[in-house]
Amino acid sequence: MEELQTMKKKQYLEQPKERISGSEAIVRCLLAEGVDMIYGYPGGAIMPVYDELYKYQNEIHHVLTRHEQGATHAAQGYARISGKVGVAMATSGPGATNLITGIADAQIDSTPMVCITGQVASHLLGSDAFQETDIVGISTPVTKWNHQITNAAEIPEVIAKAFYIARSGRPGPVLIDITKDAQFAEFDFQYKKCEGVRSYLPVPKTDKASLDQAAEIINGAKKPMIVWGQGVILAHAEEQLKAMIEKTGIPAAWTILGASAISTSHPLNIGMVGMHGNYAPNVLTNDCDVLIAIGMRFDDRVTGKLDEYAKQAKIIHFEIDPAEVDKNVKTDVAVLGDAKESLTQILPLLEVKTHKSWHQKFKDLYAIEFEKVIKNDLHPTKDGLTMGEVLNEINSKSGGNAAIVSDVGQHQMITCRYADFNVSKSNITSGGLGTMGFALPAAIGAKMAAPNREVIAIIGDGGYQMTIQELGTIFQQKTAVKIVVLNNNFLGMVRQWQQLFFDKRYASTEMTNPDFVAIAKGYHIQARRVSEREELGSAIEEMMKSQDAYFLEVCVEKEDNVFPMVPSGASVSDIRLE
């Protein structure tokens, strides 16, 4: 498949100049960039491009989502599991504005994506024409770059630049808005890949002095700790990180988006940091003498109260984006550059260590968390089902090899805490923006990008109903995703805050839900509901054995809470176990 795509790319890159329309040029540009999948929704202002896609449907598969937001999330899922640039397409006006949530999500989570929108004819710009919206102005704060094309001759250069910017350095979303007259106009087309943009330095050069300084601090540390983020995955630096922690014996924790870079079963993997992370890495953040951050941005959900975050430690920050250095946490040494290159270069400078007594502290605190939280989540004695035991059962049936796509809420935190990950790029979720409705369309994109992998969407009953219409996309495309809705008839995370901090005033958080099984069956998707513990194992086994899409609703305890928890505004060492 990869070889075929490379041949196609070469074919469209080596063509001599040819007079074609702007709309055909757009499609040929996409083929030259190796695009094989587009998620979108047609409309008047983008119709010329769709007419050309019809002619090239054997080379590019267009997926008709049921909403433009679904197209962006599907493109995100495709990009996150494949490492390629996801592509979404929409018409002008409401079609374009419906892309914004997914674009903002991709911007915060560094997901490479190119969005193409149609626009009214150039002579109508600024006239409040039907379905005219200034999508370039609207999307400017949430894109890595955007551009409006009014002249067909601009198309090859702008699209080449769009893909280069989207995938290079710290990845992100790019939006190209193309007027309808530019789509119809003819010009002499030839495509040339973009190899660089003036004044744009996607990967800063790693300074040897910073590597030497960082190595000296790490080698002298008595209680070092690593926190890695998604930057490790984006840089394909998983093996380098593993080699580093195994050589140095440094305990390593992860942010939500960093999960799966190293197997959850690795003995030096100490769990998740952050608001609902593991007890030991949160508490010992404020006890370590050196904190090594790799490809993470010190998000507030990780740091808690900033003026009490790791004040005793020397901070070393491996980072590709200079804007992230010293933005939230003051660093002692910043190692700029691509994480794979930086870790490769520093590895020979690091000494072999074990840090046995330091590791014991993590084990002791884990034992406390296990007794107070984990045991009750995974092996409950109460009558009702817990979200944790559902994940535990999924682990036993998947062997930790499935790609898990989670939505946003309590189930997301439970999934990140308890899912087993043996393969990188297996934890796909909305991190920075926290977009409810992300998981269902993102799982579609992930499954299409990796058809041989098991893709399981874990969703709450609230977020599920925000993009439930994408069941239609699953049905039409015959996409074999597995959907697990953990139904507690509440907006669970908000309810938890209302219980703990608002005296149980459950304002607008209780859900009266429809018959989810009947809806799934309406889309000809196998479906089952489980409410008893005795049924859970067989239901998940049935789901995993299915060769087609499968919907499983699990009715869980209504008022279960997710612990540990760092209360808003508190220090990470003030994490609560109950």
For residue 564, being part of any structural domain is answered with no
Tell me the backbone φ, ψ of residue 491, rounded to 5 degrees: -80, 90
Burial label, 444 (beta-carbon count in 10 A; 0-12, 13-18, 19+): buried
CA atoms of 539 and 526, how far apart (whole Å): 12
Residue 526 near residue 551, CB atoms below 8 Å: yes
Per-position DSSP letters for 269-318, written without gaps between them: EEEE-STTS-HHHHHHHTT-SEEEEES----HHHHBSGGGSSTTSEEEEE
Same domain, 329 and 240: yes
Q: Which of 68, 324, 389, 393 is catalytic?
A: 68
Confidence of residue 17 (pLDDT cuts 50, 70, 90): confident
For residue 429, being part of any structural domain is answered with yes
Tell me the backbone φ, ψ of residue 150, rounded to 5 degrees: -115, -10
For the segment 202-240, what is each residue's pLDDT rounded down to a tens digit?
Answer: 999 999 999 999 999 999 999 999 999 999 999 999 999
**What is the model's pLDDT at position 15?**
74
Any catalytic annotation for residue 180?
yes
Rounded mean pLDDT, 96-122: 98
Q: Which of 5, 9, 131, 372 is catalytic?
A: 131
- CB neighbourhood size of 438 (10 A): 34
Which CATH number covers residue 305? 3.40.50.1220
Into how many domains does the chain fold? 3
The token pair that represents 216 in the structure block: 């000296």
Q: Which of 144, 180, 223, 425 is catalytic?
A: 180
**What is the model's pLDDT at position 8?**
60
For residue 216, being part of any structural domain is answered with yes
Q: Of 138, 157, 189, at which residue does a domain stop?
A: 189
For residue 574, being part of any structural domain is answered with no
DSSP H helices in 83-179: 94-97, 100-108, 135-139, 155-167
- The larger pLDDT score, comparing residue 292 to residue 11, is at 292
Residue 446 near residue 455, CB atoms below 8 Å: yes
Reply yes or no on whether the pLDDT at 432 is more than 90.
Answer: yes
Same domain, 258 and 179: no
Any catalytic annotation for residue 493?
yes
**DSSP-derived 3-state class of residue 62:** strand
Q: Which of 413, 448, 493, 565 is catalytic?
A: 493
**DSSP-derived 3-state class of residue 112:** coil
**What is the model's pLDDT at position 14?**
64
Which CATH number covers residue 169? 3.40.50.970
For residue 577, being part of any structural domain is answered with no
CA atoms of 219 and 241, how far apart (whole Å): 16
**DSSP-derived 3-state class of residue 126:** coil
Same domain, 300 and 232: yes
**What is the model's pLDDT at position 497?**
87
Answer positive or negative: Cα dihedral of 11, 17, 20, 25: positive
Same domain, 224 and 352: yes
For residue 141, being part of any structural domain is answered with yes
CA atoms of 116 and 119, how far apart (whole Å): 10
Residue numbers of the domain that contains 275: 208-362
For residue 317, being part of any structural domain is answered with yes
For residue 353, being part of any structural domain is answered with yes
CA atoms of 447 and 403, how far apart (whole Å): 9
Tell me the backbone φ, ψ of residue 482, rounded to 5 degrees: -105, 125
What are the E-state strand segments in 389-451? 403-406, 427-429
Q: Which of 10, 130, 502, 532 is catalytic?
A: 130
Same domain, 6 and 113: yes
| Residue whose pair of structure tokens reads 């593993």 in the numeric block | 242
- Gap between the terminal Cα atoms of the chain: 51
Percent of the chain with pLDDT over 70: 98
**DSSP-derived 3-state class of residue 228:** strand
Same domain, 138 and 175: yes
Rounded mean pLDDT, 466-477: 98
